[in-house]
Structures are given as C-alpha cells and as structure tokens.
Chain A
Amino acid sequence: DIQMTQSPPSLSASAGDRVTITCRASQGISNYVAWYQQKPGKVPNLLIYGASTLQSGVSSRFSGGGSGTDFTLTISSLQPEDVATYYCQNYVSAPRTFGQGTKVEI
C-alpha cells in the first residue's frame, strides 16, 4: 500500500502569510494526488485534483504542485476562513490512502 506522509502536522501563521503543506508518497504516483479542506465541524471539501488542478469554485489563493512522490499545497495569502485541517490523498490505486492531515491556525 502507498503511504502518504504529510508535514507539518499543524502550523500557526498570520493572516496574509504564505503557507505551504507537503505530502510525500511512499512510491511514485505520477500526479494522482488530491487535496481536501475540512473546516471545524464540517464536511471535507475537494480543493485540488491531479496534483495542481483547482476544483471549480475554489479560491485562487490555493495552488498545488509536484509529481512523483513529493507534493505541495500552498495558500498564497492566509485568510481567517482558511482555518481548517488539510488532507492529501493518493488516488492512483486502491487503497486510496489519506495523509494524516495538517491543522492550520491563525
């Protein structure tokens, strides 16, 4: 099974900061990575698929990158409404494992 290792587990930043979350796959998965945002008490929401394709309706503050084993999610200018836990997921094959999550606070 492919393991997805996210870092950091949590971070605190100021509004307006640039924030980057990383996700490392235990083996190459091309660009089959998605990123999800889960606000406190809410249902997860798809942000990015194909490592870098922004889901329709998602703020352009969010961007994704990487290929192979190393991937990033970047928030260009952190806003209060971005407080959430962020998860990466591999979907190249079953099991479609998630990373452990990164809790982002302001």
Chain B
Amino acid sequence: QVQLVQSGSELKKPGASVKVSCRASGYPFTTYAINWVRQAPGQGLEWMGWINTNTGTPTYAQGFTGRFVFFLDSSVSTAYLQISSLKAEDTAIYYCVRGGHHGDYLFAWGQGTLVTVSS
C-alpha cells in the first residue's frame, strides 16, 4: 500500500537548519508529485508547495521562498524539505503528501514531523 514515512521530531535553535525526509513506498516514486504542508500549533493547514518527482522541479507558495528548499533523492524514493535560518515561527508540524490519481489533491499523507525552534 502507499506509504509516506517521515523523519522524527526535531528540536533546533534559532538560526540553525533542519532537513525533514519523506520516504515513499508502494508505488512508482516518479509518478506522483510530493506536496509539503505546514501546520503551526493550533492552526490550520498551509500549502507550502510541491515538487515534480519526475523532473525534480520545485514550486513554492508565497511565504515559502528563500529559506525553504524541496529536493529529491529518487534512488531511495525520498523527498526532502530543508529549512535554513530557522525562526521561532517555523515551529510546526510539516507533512509530506502524495498527489492523487485523478488530480493534484492530497491523496496520501506522511505522519508529520514536528519541528520545534527554541533557544
């Protein structure tokens, strides 16, 4: 079955960087896009952008340019989110999500990775 398994929780200091991994299984990795979604504590869902797993081309939503980078290692069916110059307001759960069969809705969700930024 389709599974997206993310790396574990991270505690980082302001100014540091973090890399979140998302390993996909149960389907051909390059067939479907991977989206990234952020959920700050007690808040709603925020679409960060997506990466074309066939070409490696990322697309970022406004507010997620510059410090946020999506990239792939297709040899291990894994997508990555890297955030640099972390700020307290980056504290959130980050989800990777596979696109759907019939369109770009969010079909299969990873379990989420909590990133906490605190001094």
Chain A interfacial positions (CB closer than 8 Å to B)? 1, 32, 34, 36, 38, 43-46, 49-50, 53, 85, 87, 89, 91, 94-101
Contacts and interface: CB of A to CB of B under 8 A. Distances in A.
9 contacts: A87-B44, A91-B103, A94-B49, A95-B47, A95-B62, A96-B47, A96-B50, A98-B46, A101-B45
* Residue of A43, A97, A101 with highest tally of chain B CB at under 10 A: A43
Contacts of B110: 43
Given A44-B95, A96-B35, A49 B103 contact: yes
A87 B47 contact: no
Contact of A87 (B35, B45, B59, B104): B45
Contacts of B102: 49-50, 53
B106 interface: yes
Given A1-B62, A43-B112, A89 B44 contact: no
Those 5 A-B pairs whose CB atoms lie nearest each other, nearest first: A34-B105, A95-B61, A49-B105, A91-B104, A101-B44
Contact of A98 (B45, B103, B111): B45
B109 interface: yes
B103 A36 contact: no
B27 interface: no
A96 B61 CA distance: 8
B100 interface: yes
Given A1-B62, A43-B95, A49-B100, A36 B49 contact: no
A49 B97 CA distance: 15
